[in-house]
C-alpha cells in the first residue's frame, strides 16, 4: 500500500454504517410477509438515488424511500398505503446504533480526530436519528447531500465537506460500509475506510480503488486509521 497522507477529519456515512437498518426487518415482515424484502428495497433506494444524480435530478432521500417502497410493493402485488410510508419514515429515524459504534467513536475522538457525518438523508429536526441513537455528541458537524442536491458518490458531496471544514481531500478519511461510498471518496483524493457490515463485502476489480482500511468492526477500523494517521492532540 502506498504511503498515505495524514488525515485529521473522519467522515462517517450514517445509514447502515453507524445505524442498524436490520431493525427495519419486522416492518417488511408485516407488510410483505418476508423480512428479506428490506434487502430488495434498500439497494433499489441507493440505485435510484444514484440514477437521479446521474440524470441531473434530485428529490429528498425520504421521499425517494417512500416511492421505492411503493414500487417494490407494486412488483410484489402488495398495496403500499400512506400509513405504511409514514411508519417507515418514523422507524427510519429511530434505528439504534450498532454496538461497536460508541467505543470506536470514543477511540477516534480521544486520538484527536475531528468526526463529522455525511449522509444521503435530508436534514431533520431534533431529535435527529443520531440523537435518537445516542451518538450525536461525538460529532462536530453533520452534512447532508441535500445541500448540493446530489447523492453520494458524486464528487460534489465530498468536496462540500472539505470546503466547509477548510481542509484538502487528502486530510479526510471516509468511513462507510458501502464500497460505492469509499470508491467515490477515494476517487477525489480522500482515504477510504470500509466496515464489512452484513451483506456488504469488498470488491477486487482492476482500476477500482481498494479501501485503505478494511475491518469487520469499527473498533478494529479505528485502530487502523489511528495507526496510519497522526492527528494533532
Picking from 35, 70, 92, the residue at the C-terminal end of a domain is 92
Query: Domain for residue 2, yes or no?
Result: no
55 and 153 part of one domain: no
Q: Are residues 106 and 221 in the same domain?
A: yes
Last residue of one domain, picked from the residues 67, 92, 117? 92
Please write the tens of the pLDDT for every residue from 84-132. 999 999 999 999 999 999 999 999 999 999 999 999 999 988 899 999 9
Range of the domain at 67: 21-92
For residue 71, the domain's CATH number is 1.10.150.240
- List Cβ neighbours of 226 (8 Å cut-off, separation of 6 or more): 107, 108, 111, 113
pLDDT digits (tens, 9 = 90+) for 9-34: 999 999 999 999 999 999 999 999 99
Pair 170, 106 in one domain: yes
- Is residue 148 predicted with pLDDT exceeding 50? yes
The tally of domains found in the chain comes to 2
Name the 3-class secondary structure at 209: coil
Q: What was the pLDDT predicted at 157?
A: 98
Does residue 48 sit in the same domain as residue 100?
Answer: no
Q: Per the domain annotation, does 122 fall within a domain?
A: yes
The Cα 134–Cα 140 span in angstroms is 15
Looking up residue 184, the CATH number of its domain turns out to be 3.40.50.1000
Are both 32 and 115 inside the same structural domain? no
pLDDT at 8 over 50: yes
Q: Could you tell me if 79 and 180 lie in one domain?
A: no
140 and 108, same structural domain?
yes
Is 198 a domain residue? yes
Residue 135 included in any domain? yes
Q: Summarize the confidence of residues 165-184 as an average pLDDT.
A: 97
Task: Supply the DSSP string of 51-82, one letter for each residue.
Answer: HHHHTT----HHHHHHHHHHHHHHHHT----H
Q: How confident is the model at residue 231 (pLDDT cuts 50, 70, 90)?
A: low
CB within 8 A of 51, min separation 6: which ones?
Answer: none
User: Residue 1 — pLDDT band, cuts 50, 70, 90?
Assistant: very low
Is 199 a member of any domain? Answer: yes
Domain boundary among 92, 124, 143: 92
Amino acid at each position: 500500500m502506498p504511503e498515505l497522507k495524514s488525515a485529521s477529519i473522519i467522515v462517517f456515512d450514517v445509514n447502515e454504517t453507524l445505524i442498524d437498518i436490520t431493525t427495519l426487518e419486522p416492518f417488511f415482515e408485516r407488510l410483505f410477509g418476508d423480512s428479506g424484502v428490506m434487502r430488495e428495497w434498500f439497494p433499489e433506494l441507493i440505485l435510484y438515488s444514484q440514477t437521479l444524480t446521474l440524470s441531473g435530478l434530485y428529490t429528498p432521500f425520504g421521499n425517494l424511500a417512500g416511492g421505492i417502497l411503493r414500487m417494490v410493493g407494486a412488483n410484489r402485488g402488495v398495496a403500499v398505503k400512506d400509513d405504511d410510508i409514514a411508519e417507515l419514515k418514523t422507524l427510519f429515524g429511530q434505528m439504534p446504533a450498532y454496538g461497536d459504534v460508541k467505543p470506536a467513536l470514543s477511540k477516534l475522538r480521544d486520538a484527536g480526530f475531528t468526526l463529522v457525518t455525511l449522509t444521503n438523508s435530508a436534514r431533520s429536526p431534533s431529535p435527529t436519528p443520531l440523537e435518537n441513537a445516542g451518538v450525536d455528541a461525538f460529532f462536530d458537524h453533520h452534512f447532508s447531500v441535500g445541500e448540493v442536491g446530489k447523492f453520494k458518490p458524486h464528487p460534489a458531496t465530498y468536496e462540500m465537506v472539505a470546503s466547509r471544514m477548510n481542509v484538502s481531500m487528502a486530510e479526510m478519511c471516509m468511513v462507510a460500509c458501502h464500497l460505492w461510498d469509499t470508491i467515490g471518496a477515494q476517487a477525489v483524493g480522500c482515504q477510504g475506510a470500509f466496515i464489512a457490515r452484513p451483506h456488504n463485502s469488498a470488491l477486487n476489480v482492476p482500476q477500482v480503488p481498494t479501501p485503505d482500511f478494511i475491518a469487520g468492526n469499527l473498533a478494529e477500523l479505528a485502530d487502523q486509521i489511528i495507526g496510519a494517521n497522526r492527528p494533532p492532540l
